[in-house]
Structure 1
Amino acid sequence: MRGKERKNLAKWIFMGMSAHSMIKPCSNVSESEIDNSNQYAGRLITRLITEDCPEQVRTASEVMGSAAFEQAFKVVGELAMQELMAELSVG
């Protein structure tokens, strides 16, 4: 993934967290922004699975079954959180 994609994934993770009942009062993220971010993440993940890494996806799913996708999404989430936390103003 490229730098801009990692930043947009970080934004997607934040927007998902902003819906949490404890966080929502501190955030002014609109439903439209959430929808746009969800669509972006869906397109990115679809591209990664179908265009960028189809052989790896096939191999991983043959070896691990559905757990391969769980692990992949875990890694994507961790990468997005790393991107969020790497910002000097955050930590």
Structure 2
Amino acid sequence: MKKLALAALLALPVLAPAPAVANADIEATQACFADNTSGRDRKALARWVFLAMAAHPEIQALANAGSAENEAADREMAALFMRLVAEDCNAQMKRMLASQGPESFKTAFEYLGQLAMAELMANPSVGARFSGFEKFVDTDRLQGALQLP
């Protein structure tokens, strides 16, 4: 189970929405995650994901977090993970895993990743940064390529 939990967390596709999965047990777990995480929790998850991605050799130069920041993020993530899985959403997690199997674990945590991303995107500075590339887009070429009126 430990390997499954870690694999699910490491595979969080924060920037991409998870495919829709219509299952009451998965939806109950996702709702429990939403109800039992605060903005602070979601930012902690986003920070942990950011630091994990910053470990990539092509990204490392853009982030200067040291081992103390990484360890703090790991500890905060472990506490959040354990609180959700072993306490706040334990009943929902057990039902989901029993009815849907280990893959559902990943689906539930992908949803939590989406919540974390939405938390960050609500900040105007983040939204502005995401749209920064637009000033370099050739709109005439884009309209032609997409055959827009």
- The TM-score with structure 1 as length reference comes to 0.89
Counterpart selection for 1:44 from 68, 80, 101: 80
Partner SS for 2:106? helix
Report if the CA contact (8 A) 1:61-1:69 is conserved.
yes
Once residues 2 and 77 of structure 1 are traced to their aligned partners in structure 2, the CA distance between those partners, rounded to angstroms, is 13
1:26-65 alignment to 2 at 5 Å? 26-65=62-101
- 1:3 has 2:39 as partner: yes
**Alignment size in residue pairs:** 91
Partner SS for 2:125? coil
Q: State the match for 2:5 in structure 1.
A: none
Shift of 1:86: 2.1
Q: Deviations over 1:36-89 (max 9, x none)?
A: 101111111111011101110111011111012111221122222222222211
Q: State the match for 2:134 in structure 1.
A: none
Which residue identity lines up with residue 31 of structure 1 in the other structure? S
Q: State the match for 1:68 in structure 2.
A: 104
- 1:77 has 2:113 as partner: yes
Counterpart selection for 1:14 from 50, 54, 57: 50
- 1:90 has 2:137 as partner: no
Q: State the match for 2:15 in structure 1.
A: none
Report if the CA contact (8 A) 1:13-1:80 is conserved.
no
Which residue identity lines up with residue 78 of structure 2 in the other structure? G
Report if the CA contact (8 A) 1:11-1:37 is conserved.
yes
